[in-house]
Amino acid sequence: MTTATTTRPVAAVPSAGGPTWALRDAWAVTLRDLGHWRRQPWDLVIGLAFPILLLLMFGYLLGGAIDVPGGYIEFLFPGMLAVTMAFGLESTMTAVSQDVQRGVTDRFRSLPMSRSAVLLGRAVADMLSSTVGLVVLLVAGVAVGWRWHHGAGPALAAVGLLLLLRFAFLWLGIWLGLLFRGQGGVTAVQILVWPFAFLSNAFVPISTMPAWLEAVTAWNPITATIAATRDLFGNPTVAASGWAADHATLLAVVWPVVLVAVFGTLAVRRWQRLGR
């Protein structure tokens, strides 16, 4: 019996060390998610259609009653982009907590693969899907009359800020997904993102809010990204006062960086402590 077990070809498999393997393994994990798109294209389509539906609802159903110089669609659209990026938090959290719950995470952790690849692969897959979602939404925006006015450079910078926001919320999603196992946590987050999105300048100018609410809303990370992207796209902004409003572009970079530093650290630590 022992001879049968010692001649197994397992020793031929290369070791798991090094950054090359981390990247290769992360790509394998990413491909799994891309496989989901191929298998269930309708999930992808519904995911893409949801923000478009919101755009149409706010733009045409509510927008008529909201008077913003320059037109409501032009004002609303950067807000929709940023809110969509922030809502990516839900899909990240759902995917992470499902894998933990179904034992897939344990299976990964029992394989001779790179440890960091699971989180890295999740990050790459979600950034890819959000980039596709962003492009589709931009096309939809153009279709309903939204335009960028300052040329390709600033427009691309705005897209960069939006993806940076997505990246920040991705780590929050991973952390929450590792923290709360089961559907309850996901449902709670799916509800809480709404007040979070509305406590921003996405849908209405914050100068219309009561003073105390305006102060809270001005410091919402989404508000900073929206104000900065409106500037970069050349879309109408409604003047707001205060330090946060004056330094929106700076905050649109600093906020996500701080969020990544905080929640990225928490997520990685949580991941490393799964076996403790």
Query: Under the rule (CB under 8 A), what is the footprint of other proteins?
Result: 1-2, 4-6, 8-10, 13-17, 21, 25, 28-29, 31-32, 35-36, 39-40, 101-104, 106-113, 117, 274-276
The least CB distance from residue 180 to other proteins, in Å, is 18
The least CB distance from residue 115 to other proteins, in Å, is 9
Cβ closest to other proteins, residue 122 vs residue 230 = 122
Cβ closest to other proteins, residue 153 vs residue 273 = 273
Cβ closest to other proteins, residue 102 vs residue 149 = 102
The least CB distance from residue 6 to other proteins, in Å, is 6
Cβ closest to other proteins, residue 95 vs residue 227 = 95
Cβ closest to other proteins, residue 108 vs residue 196 = 108
Q: Among all chains, which residue has been given the structure tokens 């891309």? A: 34
The least CB distance from residue 181 to other proteins, in Å, is 12
The least CB distance from residue 86 to other proteins, in Å, is 25
DSSP per position, the chain: -HHHHHT-GGGGSPP--SHHHHHHHHHHHHHHHHHHHHH-HHHHHHHHHHHHHHHHIIIIIIGGG---TT-HHHHHHHHHHHHHHHHHHHHHHHHHHHHHHTTHHHHHHTSSS-STHHHHHHHHHHHHHHHHHHHHHHHHHHHTT----S-HHHHHHHHHHHHHHHHHHHHHHHHHHHHS-SHHHHHHHHHHHHHHHHSSSSSS-GGGS-HHHHHHHHT-HHHHHHHHHHHHHT-------SHHHHTHHHHHHHHHHHHIIIIIHHHHHHHHGGG-
Cβ closest to other proteins, residue 14 vs residue 19 = 14
The least CB distance from residue 129 to other proteins, in Å, is 14
Residue type, 85: M
